[in-house]
Amino acid sequence: MSAFASALAAVTRHRGVMACLVVAEEDGIVIDGSAQVGVDTAAFAALTASLYRKASRASGSAGFGQTSFCELEAERGRVLAAGRNGIVLVAVAESRANLGLLRVELLKAAGGL
């Protein structure tokens, strides 16, 4: 069992979650994760890490300090990311997923990264 297994399990057990990945913030490499068949984990990891990195730098430059959570909502789903110590926990979910619950779970899991 990997060091991230409990964090991943805590997120993926929620309804509507299609993938949960542990990703290196700097280069978007997948460290660990689980996903439904058909989800392109490498693309999600790389692009979400890039978005998270950009958001962190932008909010830092704008004087808002470090970013701890990022949510990207789209027409047919949402991507959520919570980071700590250079590692980002990424969840890809359907629109029907409970955002409040997932946010709390991701922040809790990210606290243990």
Position among 50, 104, 108, 111 found at the interface with other proteins (CB under 8 A) = 50
- The whole-angstrom separation of Cα 2 and Cα 56 is 27
DSSP letter at 14? S
Long-range contacts of 53-58 (CB under 8 A, 24+ apart): 53/25, 53/26, 56/25, 56/83
Using rule CB under 8 A, residue 68 touches other proteins: yes
Using rule CB under 8 A, residue 43 touches other proteins: yes
- The whole-angstrom separation of Cα 85 and Cα 92 is 21
Q: Which is nearer to other proteins, 10 or 16 (CB)?
A: 16
Candidates 6-14, 26-34, 56-64: pick the segment binding other proteins (CB under 8 A): 56-64
Candidates 1-9, 27-35, 72-80: pick the segment binding other proteins (CB under 8 A): 72-80
Position among 14, 31, 34, 69 found at the interface with other proteins (CB under 8 A) = 69
